[in-house]
Amino acid sequence: MARQKQDDETNDVVGGFSALVQELRADREARSKHEEKVVNRLGKFKENPDGSPKRSVFNLRGQRDYPLPELKCRLFAPHPIDRDPEVSGMTREEIELVNLLEPGEYRFTLTDQSQTTMTISAVKNKATGVVEQMRVETPAFDREMFKQMPPMTRWLREVLAQHPAEIAEQADAVMTMAQEKKGIAAGEIAVAV
């Protein structure tokens, strides 16, 4: 009787362990499929089915003939963002706007219409004066407030409007991704072929 009980308990443990292993395998497969879907959805710098080389949601015109600009320096917003446009995960519009940022204290509007602050600091090369690194800090990067963070292009444009007039005008001249998409569809903007 005791032996039977011990065998039953062993079988329960082995069965539970087998079930756990199966769950872990299924979870790993699901994660792999999810990661594959994300990469495919983004289409990051791959040839699209229409045959246009390296067109993507990041660069509508195509990386081969119309490469994205590099970030002017290393950026932390709040995490590090690679300067290489092919791995930064930023659109052409976002990169062009970020490259206009200057250090300072700014205000911007969250999605709930409240206002908060943003501090942009820079580290410059002592010999050349060239900005080597910028850090964007705001209470909105906090876990709770992050839910109220507007899209990057929206806060960039709002912050750049507070820069000196010359920079604000340059920011206004940066074409939005929607304008670019519309221009491509109308045949007014060339794309990689």
pLDDT in tens, 162-174: 999 999 999 999 9
Q: What is the average pLDDT score of the chain? A: 82
Residues 57 and 151: their CA atoms lie apart, in Å, by 15
Tell me if 185 is assigned to some domain.
no
What's the pLDDT at 45? 46
Nearest alpha carbon to residue 123 among 143, 146, 103, 144:
103
Query: pLDDT at position 82, please?
Result: 76
- 193 assigned to some structural domain: no
Give the burial class of 29: count Cβ atoms within 10 A of its Cβ; 0-12 exposed, 13-18 middle, 19 or more buried. Answer: exposed
Say whether pLDDT at 50 is over 70: no
Is the pLDDT at 80 greater than 90? The verdict is: no
**Between residues 155 and 12, which one has the greater pLDDT?**
155
Residue 97 included in any domain: yes
Tell me whether residue 35 is in a domain. no
Domains contained in the chain, number: 1
Q: Is residue 50 part of a domain?
A: no
Residue 64 lies in a domain: no
Domain that holds residue 87: 74-175
Average pLDDT over residues 88-105: 93
User: Is residue 136 situated within a structural domain?
Assistant: yes
Residue at 190 is within a domain: no
CA distance 19 to 26: 10
pLDDT of residue 170: 97
